[in-house]
Amino acid sequence: MNFRVLKRAPRYQNIRTLVVIHDLLVAGIAWLLARWCAQALFGASWPPPLSLFIEGLLLMAIQGFVYWRIGLYRGLWRFASLPDLGNLVRASLLGSVAIGAVLLIMEHGVEIVAPMLWLYPLILLLSLGLPRLAFRTFRDMRTEVRWRRTSQRTLIIGAGRSGRLLLPELRRRGGFELVGFLDDSTRLKGTEIDGVPVLGNIQRLPRIVREAAIDLAVIAIPSATNNQMQRVVALCEESGVEFKTLPTLKELGASITRFEDLKPVAIDDLLGRDPVSLDWNAIRSGLTGKRVLVTGGGGSIGAELCRQIARLDPAGLVVLDSSEYNLYRIDYDLRGEFHDLIMDSVLGDVCDPATVETVVARHRPDVIFHAAAYKHLPMLQNQVREAFRNNVVGTMRMAEAAARHAVSTFVLISTDKAVNPCNVMGATKRIAELYCQQVDSRADTRFITVRFGNVLNSTGSVVPLFNEQIRKGGPVTVTHPEISRYFMTIAEAGQLILQAAVLGRGGEVFVLDMGQPVRISYLAEQLIRLAGKEPGRDIEIVYTGLRPGEKLFEELFHAHESYASTGHQKILLARNGVGVVKDLEATIQRAERAVQRYDSAELREILTRLVPEMGRVPPKERKVVPLKQA
């Protein structure tokens, strides 16, 4: 058997040797001082030099043995503590008793030994203890200065449950000098939480950052609304302090607040809304144990739908996508996270009749979520043939296959750009809406349309574009100072789509409550600030003018539509929409032949005829139509 001997580092061996030599010399000096004090105070005789030398050597040998026996050198001076002081007392007393006994044996008189028994240990204790105390104090002062120099003076914004749980985590981690809390609760003003004072309300942040030299502000308000988060971040930016935040309540779930949860503030934190409350029982009853097909399953919305559906224990999940890479990514993610999920990934095009028929006939889905679509507005403006082929013909193929194979529910993922569209992308999505509503009137399948606005951080959206421009040093390009859009997070969109799918009975157009529109210039400014830069100084914002087919404002309802509430507060039902469009199916079949001929001019004419708004909406004069509740 091999044993490995653990050796101390040479540096510590050298230090320990020096400490031993120091203590032995101190013992000798203490003995001489005790002898001198005994002579001065009590008239004791001073021994001859040779006798004194022999006494000193004997003393150091005895005292060294005592040091070793009581374990005086097991600790280092920089960690000297009360137990070490106790060892010093024991070493001094035992050493004096031992040397006194030896002196009596050597026939020294009691008048000499008696005063030495209390003078020597007292002098020795002071001589051993004071250097250790001074060294420990010196090291602690250096450590304190270095700690203060390297630690961050930290302020916690929010003295609620999350802030209180975060406090011991920051202390345990070290490197954080906790200065105080800020909270708007008047009840907490002037109080202390585990020794850390509540310094006032959040509005005082700039002043406290300046007066207390704060290095880091931690936003510990997971329940903050969109407006509250924007206010706190604005104060942090005004203060010029580094700031981080905890995830939202939805992201935290039931987990305890941990240091690892801290993250830089993201644009989702500023534009996200209150957590979505869902009727999961209804969603499970509609999807658990069902076979589900998601087209465009590798895209931003499609992939999120796949993840949400996989958590609901479906009987099977089929993911159809024309992008090999996107399909590979979602397949890899789902199989890695959901080991028991029965799924099939199909690389194919929704515009291909053979692909659509084979997939639907072979897998016999109960529910189809049709998310496959082209959505890049400026690019599609000059690609009318591809836009019509994918967004209209692809929807028609999937809808007809769903009706033919008696699929229970077909959910079309639409967009706010389908409302009063003045661009090719919006017009094609509007036709897809109309077609699904028309097929619903003659099929047993429930056709449901879900309409919503922009999704933060989705592929090809403005947020990744702005982040890339910021990374390159700018400029950030915005088309118009007043342009605004509706935004929601990918997770929220996916969850509300699932909720709408189980709410509908067939033929409905559900509109997700998108909150208030956000100016794109505000979005750009916030992304620049979140990157630690100043708009206009570090990164310029350049206005390039509206692009063809682009509107200043997007709308969620047509002028002739009203809305009604549903069983969910964030899902609205569009009413009084356009009824049956005359010759819609025949017109789309004609358009399909134009697609085959690559006749873009005829396709534009068909778009304008089916969606008259496309030809007459002046984009710069479009105003948001007030909603009329039914």
**pLDDT tens per residue across span 557-578:** 555 555 666 777 678 777 655 5
What's the pLDDT score for residue 560?
57
| Same domain as 446, residue 420 | yes
Quick check: 500 and 573 in contact, CB under 8 A? Answer: no
Structural domain count, the chain: 3
Residue 580 domain-assigned (yes or no):
yes
Residue 405: how many other CB atoms lie within 10 Å? 15
| Same domain as 250, residue 306 | no
Quick check: 60 and 27 in contact, CB under 8 A? Answer: yes
| Same domain as 458, residue 524 | yes
Identify the domain boundary among 148, 170, 198.
Answer: 148
Residue 242 domain-assigned (yes or no):
yes
Residue 85 domain-assigned (yes or no):
yes
| Same domain as 292, residue 208 | no
Between 603 and 479, residue with greater pLDDT: 603
Mean predicted confidence (pLDDT) in 598-621: 76
Which of the residue ranges 257-261, 417-421, 589-593 would you say has the lowest mean pLDDT? 257-261
| Same domain as 294, residue 214 | no
Residue 259 belongs to domain with CATH number: 3.40.50.720
179: domain range?
152-265
Quick check: 503 and 510 in contact, CB under 8 A? Answer: yes
Between 225 and 388, residue with greater pLDDT: 388
Residue 284 domain-assigned (yes or no):
yes
| Same domain as 17, residue 164 | no
Residue 468 domain-assigned (yes or no):
yes
Quick check: 412 and 372 in contact, CB under 8 A? Answer: no
Mean predicted confidence (pLDDT) in 391-401: 94
Which of the residue ranges 39-43, 185-189, 611-615 would you say has the lowest mean pLDDT? 39-43
Does the pLDDT of residue 228 top 60, yes or no? Answer: yes
Which pair of structure tokens corresponds to residue 133? 């105390």
The sign one gets for the Cα dihedral 442, 448, 453, 457 is negative
| Same domain as 317, residue 169 | no
Residue 38 domain-assigned (yes or no):
yes
Torsion region of 372: left, alpha or beta (phi above 0 gives left; psi -120 to 50 gives alpha): beta
Residue 2 domain-assigned (yes or no):
no
CA–CA gap between residue 351 and residue 393 (Å, rounded): 6
Buried b (16+ CB within 10 A) or exposed e, 478-513: bbbeebbbbbbbbbbbbbbbbbbbbbbeebbbbbbb
The residue assigned the tokens 């020794």 is 195
What's the pLDDT score for residue 357?
95
Which of the residue ranges 33-37, 132-136, 526-530, 616-620 would you say has the lowest mean pLDDT? 616-620
What's the pLDDT score for residue 142?
56
Identify the domain boundary among 108, 123, 148.
Answer: 148
By three-state DSSP, how is residue 296 classified?
Answer: coil
| Same domain as 546, residue 426 | yes
504-532 tens-digit pLDDT = 888 888 887 776 777 888 888 878 877 77
Q: Give the percent of the chain with pLDDT over 70.
A: 71
| Same domain as 157, residue 140 | no
By three-state DSSP, how is residue 392 classified?
Answer: helix
Which of the residue ranges 287-296, 353-362, 411-420 would you say has the lowest mean pLDDT? 411-420
Which of the residue ranges 78-92, 176-190, 336-350, 452-466 would you say has the lowest mean pLDDT? 78-92
Does the pLDDT of residue 596 top 80, yes or no? Answer: yes
H-type alpha helices, 43-109:
49-70, 82-105
Mean predicted confidence (pLDDT) in 97-124: 66
| Same domain as 455, residue 472 | yes
What's the pLDDT score for residue 77?
46
Which pair of structure tokens corresponds to residue 628? 């009329």
267-286 tens-digit pLDDT = 665 665 555 667 778 888 88
Mean predicted confidence (pLDDT) in 371-381: 88
Mean pLDDT computed over every residue of the chain: 77
| Same domain as 76, residue 209 | no
Burial, 255: exposed, middle or buried (Cβ in 10 Å; 0-12, 13-18, 19+)?
exposed
Q: 612 — phi, psi (to 5°)?
A: -60, -30
| Same domain as 243, residue 174 | yes
What residues pair up with 402 in beta bridges, in sequence order?
none
Residue 608 domain-assigned (yes or no):
yes
At 5, the pLDDT band (50, 70, 90 cuts) reads: very low
What's the pLDDT score for residue 364?
95
Identify the domain boundary among 148, 166, 194.
Answer: 148
